[in-house]
C-alpha cells in the first residue's frame, strides 16, 4: 500500500485545498473511486483554457480530476475521451481515464463536465543548459534532478507524437486542404480588420502587452501579409488528414530521466495534418536569446528580463532535423508534410502576437490569475520577432 508520507499536508503549501473546496473535490472523486482513502487535494496552476485541474493523492496513487471549461458540449468531451481511451491502449504515456460509478468517464453538473485520469509523472524539457553558439549534439537541458541531451529529447518527443498519430489510425485518413492553414488564413483576414482598432486603445493590461502593441504598430501589417503569403500556397493543396493533437506544446509532453513519461492536454484533438503537431512541438524550442551583453532587446528594452525561455541562440535547422528524425523513426512522414510544418511554424508567431493584443485590447478578455503566463508567452514571441530569429 502506498504511504502518504510523501504528500502530508504542509501548512505553507499555497496549492493545498482545505475546507469546503477540498470537500467538493472529494465528493467528485468519490463518484469515480468510491471508498478511496487518504485523499490530499492540490489545485494545479491555472491554465489559459478555463479548465480546473486538481491533483488528488490517494492510497491508490495520484489522480488528476479535471473540470472542463464551462459550456463545453458534452458531445465534445465524449469525442475526446474516445480518442484518449483508444490511444491509451497503445501508449503508456497517455493517461488512463477512470470510469465513474455510472460507467461513463464523463460526469456532468450545471454545464460543467468532469473526468478523472491517472496522474502523469514527469516534467517538460527545461531551458537550454549550454553557454553559446547554438544547439548541437551533446547540449543538455535540465529535467527534474537529471539532464537530457536537448536534441535527443526533442527527437523522443516527436516520436511520441508520431506514435500518438498512429494510435488514432482507426479513424482513417482523408486527403483535403489542411484545416490548420485555412484557420490561420481566416484568422489573418480577421486580424487585419481588428488589429488597427485594437492598437488605437491607449493602455494595455501589462507592460509586456504594451511592447507587443508597439511592435505590431510598426510591423504587424507586414508580418500578417508575409504569413498569409507563406500559407497561401497550401490553401488548395490536398494533404492527408487524421486525428492529431493540434495543441502539443513543450509543457504537454513530460519526461523522466530523459524518457517521455506523460502526454497531457487533449482538449484540441481534431482531424488535421500531422504537420500542425510538429509545428507546435518544434515552435516552443525556437526561441530567441537575450541580445548580447546588455541583455536587452534592441527595440524593447527590458523584454529579455521578463522572458523565461531558452537563453542561447538556437540552431533552427538542428532542432527541425531532430524532430523529423524522431518522428520518422517512429512513423512515416513525407517531404511535403515536413515543408508544411515549417510553413505553419514560420507563420504562427505574428498571428499569436496579434491575437493576444486583440483579445486584451479590443475584446477586453480577463485573464485574472493568468497574466504571468500571458506575459511569458508574449515575451517569448517578442524575443524571437525582435531578434529576427527565423522560425523555419
- My answer on whether 210 and 92 are in the same domain is no
Q: How confident is the model at residue 72 (pLDDT cuts 50, 70, 90)?
A: very high
- My answer on whether 112 and 163 are in the same domain is no
pLDDT recorded at residue 15: 79
pLDDT recorded at residue 324: 96
In a domain, 293, yes or no: yes
- My answer on whether 97 and 213 are in the same domain is no
Q: What is the CATH number of the domain that holds 300?
A: 3.90.1200.10
pLDDT digits (tens, 9 = 90+) for 85-128: 999 999 999 999 999 999 999 999 988 999 999 999 999 987 43
* Weakest mean pLDDT among 18-27, 88-97, 181-190, 263-272: 18-27
In a domain, 134, yes or no: no
Beta bridge partners of 142: 147
pLDDT recorded at residue 299: 34
pLDDT digits (tens, 9 = 90+) for 247-269: 999 999 999 988 999 999 999 99
- My answer on whether 155 and 58 are in the same domain is no
Q: What is the CATH number of the domain that holds 68?
A: 3.30.200.20
Last residue of a domain, one of 118, 149, 183: 118
- My answer on whether 72 and 109 are in the same domain is yes
DSSP assignment of 32-94, as one string?
Answer: TSTT----EEEEPPP-SSS-EEEEEEETTEEEEEEEPPTT--HHHHHHHHHHHHHHHTT-TTS
3-state secondary structure of 114: strand
- My answer on whether 150 and 56 are in the same domain is no
pLDDT digits (tens, 9 = 90+) for 284-339: 888 644 333 333 333 333 333 333 344 444 588 999 999 999 999 999 999 999 99
Residue 390 has pLDDT above 60, yes or no: no
Last residue of a domain, one of 60, 88, 118: 118
pLDDT recorded at residue 297: 35
Q: Structural domain tally of the chain? A: 2
- My answer on whether 175 and 318 are in the same domain is yes
Structure pTM?
0.85
- My answer on whether 274 and 332 are in the same domain is yes
Q: How confident is the model at residue 10 (pLDDT cuts 50, 70, 90)?
A: low
- My answer on whether 144 and 111 are in the same domain is no
pLDDT digits (tens, 9 = 90+) for 217-229: 999 999 999 999 9
pLDDT recorded at residue 19: 85
Q: How confident is the model at residue 195 (pLDDT cuts 50, 70, 90)?
A: very high
- 13 compared with 329, residue with greater pLDDT: 329
Question: Cell triple for residue 225?
Answer: 501579409
Q: Kindly give the interhelix angle for 275-283 and 335-357, rounded to the nearest 10 degrees.
A: 60
Last residue of a domain, one of 118, 148, 167: 118
- My answer on whether 76 and 157 are in the same domain is no
Average pLDDT over residues 63-85: 96
Residue 62 has pLDDT above 70, yes or no: yes
- My answer on whether 109 and 185 are in the same domain is no
In a domain, 130, yes or no: no
- Structural domain of 112: 5-118
In a domain, 124, yes or no: no
The pLDDT mean for the chain works out to 85
pLDDT digits (tens, 9 = 90+) for 346-387: 999 999 999 999 999 998 888 877 888 899 989 988 887 776
| Cβ 56 vs Cβ 24: under 8 Å | no
- My answer on whether 111 and 159 are in the same domain is no
- 84 compared with 136, residue with greater pLDDT: 84
In a domain, 133, yes or no: no
pLDDT recorded at residue 343: 97
Average pLDDT over residues 1-10: 42
pLDDT recorded at residue 385: 76
Amino acid at each position: 500500500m502506498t504511504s502518504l508520507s510523501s504528500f502530508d499536508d504542509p501548512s505553507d503549501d499555497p496549492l493545498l485545498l482545505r475546507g469546503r473546496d477540498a470537500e467538493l473535490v472529494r465528493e467528485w472523486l468519490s463518484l469515480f473511486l468510491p471508498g478511496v482513502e487518504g485523499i490530499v487535494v492540490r489545485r494545479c496552476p491555472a491554465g489559459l483554457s478555463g479548465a480546473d485541474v486538481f491533483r488528488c493523492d490517494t492510497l491508490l496513487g495520484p489522480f488528476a480530476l479535471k473540470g472542463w471549461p464551462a459550456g463545453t458540449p458534452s458531445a465534445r468531451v465524449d469525442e475526446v475521451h474516445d480518442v484518449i481511451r483508444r490511444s491509451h491502449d497503445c501508449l503508456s504515456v497517455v493517461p488512463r481515464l477512470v470510469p465513474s460509478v455510472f460507467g461513463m468517464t464523463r460526469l456532468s453538473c450545471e454545464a460543467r463536465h468532469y473526468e478523472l485520469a491517472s496522474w502523469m509523472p514527469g516534467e517538460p524539457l527545461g531551458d537550454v543548459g549550454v553557454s553559446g553558439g547554438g544547439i548541437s549534439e551533446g547540449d543538455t537541458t535540465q529535467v527534474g534532478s537529471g539532464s537530457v541531451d536537448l536534441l535527443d529529447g526533442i527527437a523522443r518527443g516527436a516520436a511520441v507524437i508520431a506514435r500518438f498519430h498512429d494510435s488514432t489510425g482507426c479513424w482513417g485518413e482523408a486527403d483535403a486542404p489542411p484545416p490548420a492553414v485555412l484557420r490561420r488564413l481566416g484568422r489573418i483576414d480577421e486580424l487585419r480588420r481588428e488589429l488597427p482598432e485594437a492598437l488605437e486603445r491607449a493602455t494595455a493590461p501589462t507592460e509586456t502587452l504594451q511592447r507587443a502593441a508597439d511592435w505590431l504598430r510598426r510591423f504587424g501589417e507586414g508580418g500578417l501579409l508575409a504569413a498569409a503569403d507563406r500559407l497561401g500556397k497550401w490553401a488548395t493543396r490536398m494533404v492527408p488528414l487524421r486525428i492529431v493533437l493540434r495543441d502539443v506544446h513543450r509543457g504537454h509532453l513530460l519526461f523522466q530521466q530523459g524518457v517521455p513519461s506523460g502526454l497531457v492536454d487533449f482538449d484540441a484533438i481534431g482531424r488535421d495534418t500531422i504537420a500542425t503537431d510538429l509545428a507546435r512541438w518544434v515552435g516552443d524550442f525556437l526561441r530567441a536569446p537575450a541580445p548580447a551583453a546588455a541583455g536587452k532587446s534592441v527595440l524593447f528594452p527590458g523584454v529579455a528580463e521578463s522572458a523565461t525561455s531558452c537563453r542561447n541562440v538556437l540552431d533552427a535547422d538542428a532542432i527541425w532535423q531532430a524532430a523529423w528524425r524522431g518522428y520518422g523513426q517512429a512513423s512515416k512522414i513525407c517531404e511535403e508534410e515536413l515543408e508544411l510544418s515549417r510553413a505553419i511554424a514560420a507563420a504562427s508567431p505574428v498571428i499569436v502576437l496579434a491575437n493576444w493584443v486583440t483579445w486584451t485590447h479590443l475584446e477586453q478578455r480577463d485573464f485574472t490569475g493568468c497574466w504571468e503566463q500571458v506575459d511569458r508567452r508574449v515575451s517569448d514571441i517578442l524575443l524571437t520577432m525582435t531578434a529576427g530569429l527565423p522560425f523555419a
